[in-house]
Amino acid sequence: MSFLVGVDIGGTSVKLGLIQYGETFKVVKQSSIPTQAEDPANVLVERISKAVKELVESAGNPAVEGIGVGCPGLVDPWAGIVRTSPNLKNMPGFELQKTLSQCTGLPVAVQNDANAAVLGEWLFSPHSRNVRNMVLITLGTGVGGGVVCDSHLLVGAANAATELGHVKVEYTNGALCACGKRGCLEAYAGLAGIRRIANELIASGIPTTLKAGNGLTTKDIAIAAGAGDEVGKRTFYEVGKYLGRGIAICLETFNPEKVLLGGGASAAIDFMMPGINAALDECSSFTFIREMCKIERSAFPDDINVIGAAAVYLNSQRN
Ligand SMILES: [Zn+2]
């Protein structure tokens, strides 16, 4: 049995997980501490280090091989630092990998959180054994992407490749994205985009149990869809259509064996599949590429952040 610790540093909380892998894979134990992003970076890292020690102790002190860290924003895994991160203002430029390693006495590897997520699926999901090419699209507040291609995480020149949330899926009057451009996948399949589509359908007068407004969540819409609500179902059909356009680009670029959907909205995959398939009928050029690709929900929809973070360390030892 081998053990890893995964640390997912988010804007509001840091999630930690002790992962066992080898013959059996499981998340042995998890914990969480507030990020308090206003803290100096060294203070935050000291608190993370303490939380790692407490987590490992609480599980009977198994020998941990290393710590993997997932973090939003532009991460430099070679230098072990965060270059830019919108919700972690004190982290850019700080020697995250080196400092956490010194504090814990364990080797550390860092990676962007969306890249971490695809590594978690690829290295640990029992459904992904022998898969050499996979795409993970995470549907949350934003839309993230990670790609494993020919059995390697695809990172690009600055570890900034595969920003699939900003692949363009609408060129005519595209919706405004948080990045400032129009027509990005995130503007249709991120939380704000899904909410906008639902609100437009409610405003069009279709009878619904959903209440329009900024409080609408993807969970509300999914529950309504599950109960047969027309606006709920049509919202996810529309979201699926745009996702399908993004997936078509991925099929032709990466020829993946799998495209996985993660994040909260992936719970509504059954309602999105008709839209995804309609878009693929329209946009996917090569039948054999489409037919060899399975589109599924993530195997770890709830724990992918810490599992992915742990996988970052394991992957760093493969290269
Ligand atoms: Zn964008």
Domains of the chain by range and CATH?
Answer: 2-124+303-318 (3.30.420.40), 132-297 (3.30.420.40)
Rounded to the nearest angstrom, the distance between the alpha carbon of 210 and the centre of ligand 1 is 28
Distance 152 CA to ligand 1 centre (A): 25
CA 64 vs CA 80, 101, 225: distances in Å: 20, 13, 44
What per-residue confidence (pLDDT) applies to 301? 85
Quote the pTM value: 0.95
Ligand 1 centroid distance, CA of 54 (Å): 39
**pLDDT for residue 203:** 97
User: What pLDDT score does 186 carry?
Assistant: 97
pLDDT means per 10 residues in the chain (319 residues)?
96 96 94 96 97 98 98 95 91 96 98 97 93 96 96 97 97 96 98 97 97 95 97 98 98 98 95 98 97 97 93 92
Distance 181 CA to ligand 1 centre (A): 5
pLDDT of amino acid 86: 83
How much is the pLDDT for 319?
61
How many whole angstroms from 124 Cα to the centroid of ligand 1?
A: 30
**How far is ligand 1, taken at its centre, from the CA of residue 13, in Å?**
25
Q: What is the pLDDT of residue 280?
A: 98
Residue 287 burial (C-beta neighbours within 10 Å; 0-12, 13-18, 19+): exposed
CA of 296 from ligand 1 middle (Å) equals 24
> Cα–Cα–Cα angle for 266, 285, 133, nearest 5°?
50
